[in-house]
Amino acid sequence: MSAFSQAYKIQYPALSDQGSKVIRAFGILNTNIPSDHPFMYGIPWPGEYLLAADGTVLDKVFVPSYEFRRTASEVVLRNFGTGEGDNSVSIKTGAFTVTVTLSSDRCFPGQELGVALSIQMNPGWHIYGKPLPEYYRAVALEFSGDLVGRQHMNFPAPQIKFMPALNEILSVYEGSLQASGTLGIRWSPPMPAPFLTPLAKTITPGNHKIVGTLRFQACSETVCEPPDEVSVELPLIINEGVPPAPKPV
C-alpha cells in the first residue's frame, strides 16, 4: 500500500485491511473468489459506504461486478443533489423546461456517472408517467451511443388523476418532476458478437459527447399534443487509464 501511495503521490491516509478483518466484520467478503486464489481471495464485494463525521452510515451501494464502478460524483449527486464540472443542459419546449445533468464532465471507462433529470412544467400543463394506456406516451430519458454501457432511471410515483376532458384516469406529473439515475461508461466500443473479445480496443481517451433522448407527451386541460421527443447533448472527457504502480525495487 505504501508503494502504491508513493507511486501516485497520494496525500491522504491509505489503509490496508490485513487478513480482510474489516471486510469480514462488515459481512462483505466476496464469496465468488475461490479461497485458494493467490491474489484475489479476501477482496470485498464491489461497493461503497458513505459515512457521516460521527460514523453514521448515510448510504451504501453494492454492484454485482467490477465491470462498472460508481464515481464519487455519482454518490454526491445522489445524496446531496449537486454534481461537479457544471455538466448540464437545459431545453425549453412549449409545455416545460427540462434540465439534464451528469454528475461530472469526466470519468474513466468502466465508471458510472449520476444522472439528474429536472422538468418544470408551465402552468396548466402536465406530462404522463407509468402505468399508462398504450396510446399515450410516458416520460422517459434514454442515452445512446458507443460510450453507453448500461443505464437506469428512477422516476417518482406520478399522481393518479381523473382527466375530465379525456374522461379517463391517468398517471400524470404536474408542476415539477425530479428523477435520478446512473449511466455506465463502457470499457470498449460495441463489436459484432463473433468478434467480441476481452482484448477489444478500449474507448479512446479525450473529448466525447453523451447524447440522450427525452420522450414525453404534454397535455393541458384543453390540448393534448401528440407524443414528442427532444435530444440533449452533454460533453464528457474520457480520462486515460492509470498505469499500474511500478514494482518496488
Across the chain, mean pLDDT equals 88
Q: Residue 8, by phi and psi: left (phi above 0), alpha (psi -120 to 50) or beta?
A: alpha
Residue 81's pLDDT band (cuts 50, 70, 90): confident
Closest CA to 77 of 105, 52, 53, 96: 105
* % of the chain exceeding 90 in pLDDT: 55
Residue 85's pLDDT band (cuts 50, 70, 90): low
- Extract the C-alpha cell encoding 150: 448500461
CB within 8 Å of 23: residues ≥ 6 apart = 17, 29, 42, 43, 44
Phi and psi torsions of 170, nearest 5°: -135, 160
- pTM beyond 0.95: the answer is no
Mean pLDDT of 113-120: 96
Mean pLDDT of 21-32: 91
Q: Is the pLDDT of residue 86 over 70?
A: no
Of 78 and 206, more confident:
206
Report pLDDT for 140: 98
Of 198 and 26, more confident:
26
Of 8-17, 18-27, 121-130, 226-235, least confident by mean pLDDT is 8-17
- Position of cell 422516476? 155
Secondary element (H or E) of residue 152: strand 148-154
Assigned CATH class of 82-238: mainly beta
Closest CA to 132 of 176, 173, 175: 173
Mean pLDDT of 58-78: 84
Of 64-68, 98-102, 196-200, 208-212, least confident by mean pLDDT is 196-200
Of 15 and 183, more confident:
183
> Domain map of the chain by residue range?
82-238
CB within 8 Å of 123: residues ≥ 6 apart = none
- Determine the Cα–Cα distance for residues 50 and 106; give it in Å rounded to an integer: 22
* Residue range 176-221, pLDDT digits in tens: 999 999 999 998 877 655 555 555 567 899 999 999 999 999 999 8
* Residue range 134-159, pLDDT digits in tens: 889 999 999 999 999 999 999 999 99
Report pLDDT for 37: 87
